[in-house]
Structures are given as C-alpha cells and as structure tokens.
C-alpha cells in the first residue's frame, strides 16, 4: 500500500511545520515520527522559537542527517508566529502542523494527502471525534457551524492538512498575549476565508502528547472578553445572526472554564457574562440542564468537584 501511494504522490510534496520551544525531551521523537512517514516526498520545516534549552541543537542534528529537514532559528515570538514563519518558508501546496511534543502515526500524511483534491482547501483528520457528523465531505456552510462550536479537533491546527494559499497572513495575526484559544481563532479565520467543502479523514492521523497549555491556563473575565472579540471579528458581521447560537455555545464553554477560577459575584458582573446573557435571551438559547446546575453552584470548590465528576464519568462512558 505504501509503495502504491508513493507512486501516486511522487510528483507532489507536503510541507510539515513543527514549532518548537523548550522541548528538548520530545522534539527529536516528534521529528523522527515525521521523517519516518511512508509518504516520503516531505518538506519538514522546524521553527526553533527562541528555545532556552537544547531544542535548537536537537533540531540542527536532524537538519544535518536528513536533507528534507529545514531548521529556522528565531527570537521567541510565540507559537502562532512560529507556525507562520514555517508557512512562509514552505514550498509545497499543502501544509500540515505538528506540535513538538506530539507524533504522527506512520501513514498520517499519506492518509491526509489522499483526500487533498482540487475541490477542497482543508482536509480534517481524526474526524471520528465529530461524533454523528460522519461524512467524507462536509459543505463549508455546514462545516462553519462545527468550527464556531469547535467540534472535535476543529479548533486545533494539528492533525489536518491545509492548502497553503488558504493560510494568509491574516489568519496568523493574533495578539501574542492570546495563548489559549488562538488556534480556535485561526480556524475561524481560515473557514470564513474559503467557500470550498472540507474532506474528512476518520482514521487516526495524530498522536497527542501531554496537554500542558490548557491544563495550566487560568481563565479570567478580561481574557474571555478578548477571545469573544476576536471570535466576533472573525465571523463576518452580516453572518452573525446565522452563527449566533454556535457562538453562544462556545462562549458558554468559556464561561464554564471561567467559573472554575473566578468568584460568581465577579463573573456575573462582567461584560462577558452580561453580553452572553443578553444574546441568549435574544436568540432563545436554552441553557443545558447540566450547565445550569454547574453555574448555579455557590462556590468554586463545588464547581471544581462537579467538573471533576463529570469528566470522570465521560472517561468511563457513563455519560
């Protein structure tokens, strides 16, 4: 099968961009998993974003032993800027992203590239996480609703394939202080910049490492408002009413995270909450019972316990 794929894809290449920052313990395995793909016609662009450990040395070692690996060293400018530097250096029509603490299964790129046909600008991987939306091709007007709600792996750039022409400077122009949720804004800007349908690959094309950013991040009301402002700016104003229920659903997820760390008296007075409440009333959006119970709990300790129990149930398949 791999040989057949190589014959089919010999004339074209894919660029894989790996942003790197202080990941000396994992970046070698990450690059190795990309270099070991059964799809060999790869360009591997590793962007060392001002690492302070041995990450840059590990990257340079790979650059010396594999001619497909190009290493860029730059001052620390953040993950989005590192990805953009990789895209600027890419020479291929299609681009994939891999985080430096993650890995690719051996056939990941060939599986994704098999769906990279002229009719699409995006190939979404790990599509099984979309749940009931089991289609090999999703029209963009439908896919945008999924993107605004950040369903499945929509909301992270890894595990998918993008036509390079769709990755304009605008999609990367995100304030550096936005370090949680910037991938979600990236997706919104991409999907509202193309009208082509999205092809979906349902097999496993990505192996995620330890999740560190989301586990450490602490939401506050100002940050939630900043994300909401970027969300609203990414969705064309004339389409706001169409996507308002989806925007409310994702804002509600943000509120749930906010309520873990912020006293109720504070978040209930915040501009983020008041605007969300107003939009819910205007659209007739009904608060899910579980969310209503969670938000009604009187203290953060109880909300944290509720969130922990809910997550434990999901992991064992109770709900």
- Residue identified by tokens 């001002």 is 50
Return the bridge partners of 69, or none: 44
Average pLDDT of the chain? 90
> What is the predicted pLDDT for the residue at 128?
81
In the chain, which residues have pLDDT < 70? 1-12, 132-134, 211-215, 311-319
Cut 0.85: pTM above it: yes
> What is the predicted pLDDT for the residue at 298?
86
Mark out the alpha helices in 173-318 (DSSP H runs): 182-191, 213-216, 221-234, 240-261, 264-267, 271-283, 289-296, 300-316
Q: How does DSSP assign 231-249, residue by residue?
A: HHHHS-GGGHHHHHHHHHH
Do 70 and 45 form a contact (C-beta atoms < 8 A)?
A: yes
> What is the predicted pLDDT for the residue at 13?
86
- Kindly report the CATH number that applies to the domain delimited by 2-214: 3.90.550.10
> What is the predicted pLDDT for the residue at 1?
42
> What is the predicted pLDDT for the residue at 215?
62
CB neighbours of 208 closer than 8 A, spacing ≥ 6? 102, 158
> What is the predicted pLDDT for the residue at 211?
59
CB neighbours of 252 closer than 8 A, spacing ≥ 6? 276, 287, 291
User: Domain boundaries in the chain?
Assistant: 2-214, 218-316
> What is the predicted pLDDT for the residue at 155?
85
Pairing of the two strands 42-49 and 69-74: parallel
Return the bridge partners of 49, or none: 74
Q: For 220-269, what is each residue's pLDDT tens digit?
A: 999 999 999 999 999 999 999 999 999 999 999 999 999 988 999 999 99
> What is the predicted pLDDT for the residue at 317?
43
* Residue 64 vs residues 21, 31, 33, 69: alpha-carbon distances, Å: 20, 13, 17, 8
């Amino acid at each position: 099968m791999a040989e057949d794929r190589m014959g089919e894809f010999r004339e074209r290449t894919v660029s894989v961009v790996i942003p790197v920052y202080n990941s000396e313990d994992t970046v070698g395995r990450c690059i190795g998993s990309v270099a070991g793909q059964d799809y060999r016609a790869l360009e591997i662009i590793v962007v060392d974003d001002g690492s302070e450990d041995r990450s840059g040395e590990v990257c340079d070692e790979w650059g010396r032993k594999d001619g497909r690996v190009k290493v860029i060293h730059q001052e620390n400018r953040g993950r989005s800027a590192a990805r953009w530097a990789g895209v600027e250096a890419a020479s291929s029509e299609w681009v994939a992203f891999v985080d430096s603490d993650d890995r690719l299964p051996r056939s990941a790129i060939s599986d994704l590239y098999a769906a990279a046909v002229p009719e699409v600008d995006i190939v979404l991987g790990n599509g099984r996480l979309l749940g009931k939306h089991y289609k090999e091709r999703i029209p963009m007007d439908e896919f945008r609703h999924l993107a605004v709600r950040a369903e499945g792996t929509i909301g992270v750039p890894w595990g998918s394939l993008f036509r390079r022409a769709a990755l304009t400077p605008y999609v990367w122009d995100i304030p550096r202080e936005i370090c949680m949720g910037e991938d979600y804004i990236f997706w919104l800007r991409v999907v509202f910049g193309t009208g082509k349908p999205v092809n979906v690959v349902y097999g496993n094309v990505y192996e995620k490492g330890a999740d560190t950013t989301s586990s450490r991040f602490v939401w506050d009301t100002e940050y939630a408002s900043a994300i909401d402002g970027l969300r609203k700016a990414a969705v064309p104003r004339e389409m706001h009413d169409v996507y308002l229920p989806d925007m409310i659903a994702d804002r509600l997820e943000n509120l749930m995270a906010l309520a873990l760390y912020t006293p109720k008296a504070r978040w209930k007075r915040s501009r983020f909450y008041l605007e969300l409440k107003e939009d819910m009333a205007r659209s007739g959006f009904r608060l899910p019972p579980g969310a209503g119970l969670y938000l009604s709990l009187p203290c953060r300790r109880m909300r944290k316990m509720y969130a922990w129990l809910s997550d434990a149930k999901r992991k064992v398949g109770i709900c």
